[in-house]
Structure 1
Amino acid sequence: MTAPTLRLGRADVRAAAERIADHIRPTPLLPCQPGLRLKAEHQQRGGSFKFRGAANALLGTPATAVVTGSSGNHGIAVATLGARLGIPVTVVMAEAASQAKAAKIRDLGATVVAVPGGVAARERHARDLAARTGAFLLPSSDHDLVVAGAGTVTLEILTDAPDTAALFVPTGGGGLLAGACLAALDHPVRVIGVEPAACRRYARSLAAGHPVELPPPDTVADGLRGQRPGEVPFPIIQHRVDDLVAVSDEDINHALDLLRRNGVNAEPSGAVAFAGALRAGWHADTVAIVSGGNTTPKGLP
């Protein structure tokens, strides 16, 4: 198979890091178990890594109004930034999305539109709404600037811990995994995507050689319910990812419990990479990304 031609590279991730430096919070690597550390993106502004991609896109694109589709964390990030920049934001969410996250988005001053169906229906509605209103459509993962911004997570990891040998990355829409692949283009680190077993859209798409769409999945990882790989992330992941592993909801809940008992207030989606490391095993110099920590006071997504 011919390797895909990439229109993005590590230089785009470095440019994103410079653009968003005054807006994001560098996050630490936390010791977890022997040979394994956690990249603490649950401590990021907005409660997740999504703040990085949203900031890169909004700072890099003139916009007077924004429409986005989100399971929650991307919407929180865009709403937070929109309030800071004086840009009205509308977030389209599936009806089954986290109501706690929807409430947080409204509290930040954004409009929430709930639609029936899964992520695919949500994205179609967001596209139509942006087209009708002339607003800037800001996808949660399927956008060059969003992917490059997400790549700054891995850029930080490889700067702080250049000997990292393996990196476990939670995988939903694919923006974080694609960003990791870009940041690691010239680094020997093994990049391992971790998908909920109920929605292995990237594993199945890579096997097919093209993006395929799955039915709306049921998984505790509410931020990783994407049904189809994005057109921007897919060729990057196809070109660079070393492995994709699956974790069950039982695996995710077990990892979540271990994290919380050790003071890491992750949400279920944020525990997926750690669950992947627990299931697949790791050796020395391994990092798992804790991608988010937007939870209710009772610890529910």
Structure 2
Amino acid sequence: MSSLGTRLGLDDVLAAAHRISAQVRRTPLLTVRSLPGLLLKAEHLQHSGSFKLRGAANTMVGNSATEIVTGSSGNHGIAVARLSGALGVGVTVVMAAGASAVKERVIRALGAHVVRVDGGVAERDRHARELSGRHGALFVPSSDHELVVAGQGTLGLEVFEDAPDLDAIYVPTGGGGLLAGVCLAASALTRQVRIIGVEPVDARRYALSLAAGAPVEVPPSRTVADGLRGQRPGEIPYPIIQRRVDEMIGVTDEAITHAMALLHRAGVEAEPTGSVALAGALASAGPALRGGRVAVIVSGGNTPAALAARILPANRPQIHSEHHTDNHTDQESP
């Protein structure tokens, strides 16, 4: 196990927040009447439609690379491709066979090259690393990188700045970059907050690894939460999560789709992956959900229907609307 992750700290997250401020939107905490007591971190309103823009921007901004290769189920690839035009770099995105075809079309529409490979996330990432090595390109992983983790941690900073009295925060967990980043950001608080990672039940690589005391690789998953199909904990996120996370929860596809339906009815445009944290919060019997102050990360809103409407011409590289529906209630103030 690499020791790189142990070097990361709050200062890295604070530096990332400064570095990416021009590329990343500070998203609000929302309350909705149908989900009382919950604060929703609205990353579906991020410029690329998901939180992945944060880690991608922190890794790419100021980097001298002219070619980048990454592996992605979709949202990370969209984020990297969206940044590529402004930064003047070429991008190749490697996607596994089961990844979203609509997300692939968006990535191509943003000017990136896409390579499909057989197998799951592990095979995808191995191919991406090999491809970057052959072509001398910079490999930008979706989660397992110090700058990516620090960039994702800026989401946690915003939550804790806007709601410093939180009792708990629920974090969707795939590669672990977001969960690790939130763990780092929590050190800015003067009070203890419970950090709860939420995984699909058939892709519980972090829960199983933490129980075993060492990284465990799980088989490829077909969960509806396509962004959380990772098979093995990342070397950078794992020790951070191992040291700080309080609990890991597994949720079924049925629970995920139910949570997504609740969000849609509340006017929150979430994709399945973006609904996982809410599914975990609803399934939790913890005391924080009974009268406590709880945040839930809505990590993305790139549904097939939304993406199909957002494939825009190359001279308009915006893929996410900033529109709020009337069903949103007051934004949570700091």
Give the TM-score band, short-chain normalised.
Answer: over 0.9
**Is residue 69–residue 139 contact of structure 1 (8 Å, CA) maintained in 2?**
yes
For 1:71, the equivalent position in structure 2 comes to: 73
Percent of residue pairs bearing the same amino acid type = 62
Taking the aligned partners of 2:23 and 2:221, their CA distance within structure 1 comes to 34
Partner of 2:235: 231
Counterparts of 1:212-227 in structure 2 under 5 Å? 212-227=216-231
Alignment-derived partner of residue 203 in structure 2: 199
Q: 1:34 deviation in Å?
A: 2.2
Q: How much has 1:218 moved relative to structure 2?
A: 1.6
Deviation at 1:4, TM superposition (A): 10
1:226 counterpart letter in structure 2? G
* Distance change in 2, residues 1:44/1:227 (3 Å): same
SS at match of 1:195: strand
Of 246, 253, 263 in structure 2, the residue corresponding to residue 259 of structure 1 is 263
The aligned counterpart of 1:190 is 194
CA contact (8 A) 2:5 2:146 kept: no
Query: Would you say 1:249 and 2:253 are equivalent positions?
Result: yes
Deviations 1:115-147 (A, max 9, x none): 000000000000000000000000000000000
- Describe the shift of the 1:5–1:62 C-alpha distance in structure 2 as closer, same or farther (beyond 3 A): closer
Q: Note the C-alpha offset of 1:299.
A: 8.6
Q: 1:135 is aligned with what amino acid?
A: A
- The residue that corresponds to 2:13 in the other structure is 13
2:31 counterpart SS class: strand
Aligned length: 298
Task: Rate the CA distance shift 1:277–1:227 in 2: closer, same or farther, 3 A.
Answer: same
How far 1:298 sits from its partner (Å)? 7.1
Structure 2 residue aligned with 1:294? 302
Question: What is the CA–CA distance in structure 2 between the aligned matches of 1:151 and 1:279, rounded to whole Å?
Answer: 25
Match of 1:280 among 281, 284, 303: 284
- TM-score calculated relative to the size of structure 1: 0.96
Please give the residue correspondences for 1:1-301 in structure 2 after superposition, counting only pairs within 5 Å.
6-32=6-32, 33-187=35-189, 188-281=192-285, 282-283=289-290, 284-297=292-305
Deviates more, 1:92-101 or 1:291-300: 291-300
CA distance in 2, matches of 1:260, 1:56: 30
Contact kept, 8 Å, 1:4 with 1:235, in 2: the verdict is no
How much has 1:227 moved relative to structure 2? 0.2
* SS class of match (2:93): strand
Once the two structures are superposed, residues 69-123 of structure 1 have per-residue CA deviations (whole angstroms, 9 ceiling, x without a partner) of 0000000000000111110000000011000000000000000000000000000
